[in-house]
Structure 1
Amino acid sequence: MRSLQVSVLSSVILMLGIAPACSQSGVEPNAPGTGSTAPVEFREGEQKFTAHCSRCHGVGGVGTTQGPAFLHKVYEPNHHGDVAFQRAAANGVKAHHWQFGDMPKIDAVKPEEVDEIVKYVRWLQKQAGIF
């Protein structure tokens, strides 16, 4: 089972790319309409994730040097429920699992947008075998 999870995670990372969250050209990698791998029902969340989250959490949620990967067991729904994402966007988060520093609140994202982002993140996590 463990080797299957590693294989699925590796496939997801390869499909999504291991590019840095911000390209040198200033254009976000995997911008809307440029190679989405998400099913149609998750693309709105993917676009919002790319716009609001990928700078720190990486394209496809793989993390960067500025923020943790969401493709980690600590972010499974039983540990960080969907409401945790809402609170993080609305209030920011004090560093508690990682050494990336505090997450600022994200004023530009509305609660209904966070709902779409969470659906996309949960889809990514399922693809990676997180839950």
Structure 2
Amino acid sequence: MAGTIVAGAAVYFGSQQTGLAPVRDTQDANQTGAIVAVNVPDTLSANAMIGKTAYQVKCATCHGENAAGKDGKAPPLVHKIYEPSHHGDEAFQRAAAIGVRSHHWPFGNMPPVDGLTRADVSMIVVYVRELQRSNGIN
């Protein structure tokens, strides 16, 4: 129970710091498990569209639709913690290639992602960065 309280507080306070709203619609949370509400831009660049396709195939199962996180699975990538000045593009490359030890969120370790090239991850990063900018994370 204490772990649930700590996890909930981390999500709540983390989303308050960025101005992103935690998902409060219980029906939406039950259907998608999204951790934060993400403002999706009306248009994406061509590279972001390529990245979105790769993201949906390789990342969305854990990190949720539009990088909003998934309760009990993985954190939102549209979050201040993943802004470029804190987690540069190479951090995404390394995460996909070798995995990540759990350190910011209570979701456990992230395993490496099979079947992604550096070019694939670069396009995914373009997509995530455009989502971040649309949500005030620069």
- TM-score using structure 1 length: 0.73
Q: Considering only aligned residues, what root-mean-square deviation do their CA atoms show, in Å?
A: 2.1
Letter aligned with residue 107 of structure 1: D
- Is 1:20 paired with 2:32? yes
Partner Cα distance (2:44, 2:91) in 1:
24
- Is 1:75 paired with 2:66? no
Letter aligned with residue 128 of structure 1: N
Runs of 4+ in 1 over 3 A off after TM superposition: none
Partner Cα distance (1:94, 1:47) in 2:
26
Contact 1:44-1:116 within 8 A present in 2 as well: yes
Identical counterparts, % of pairs: 42
Aligned residues: 105
Letter aligned with residue 97 of structure 2: A
Partner Cα distance (2:129, 2:92) in 1:
11
Contact 1:38-1:46 within 8 A present in 2 as well: no
- CA-CA distance at 1:40 after TM superposition: 4.3
1:61 corresponds, among 46, 50, 67, to 67
After superposition, the C-alpha distances for 1:70-111 in whole angstroms (9 at most, x for unaligned) are 111000000000000000000000000000000000111111
Paired position in structure 2 for 1:45: 51
Letter aligned with residue 137 of structure 2: I
Paired position in structure 2 for 1:103: 110
- TM-score using structure 2 length: 0.69
More helix by percentage: 2
Paired position in structure 2 for 1:89: 96
Please list every run of 5 or more consecutive structure 2 residues that lacks an aligned counterpart in the other structure. Answer: 1-17, 22-27, 34-40
Partner Cα distance (2:81, 2:133) in 1:
14
Letter aligned with residue 51 of structure 2: G
Please list every run of 5 or more consecutive structure 1 residues that lacks an aligned counterpart in the other structure. Answer: 11-16, 22-35
Partner Cα distance (1:37, 1:110) in 2:
28
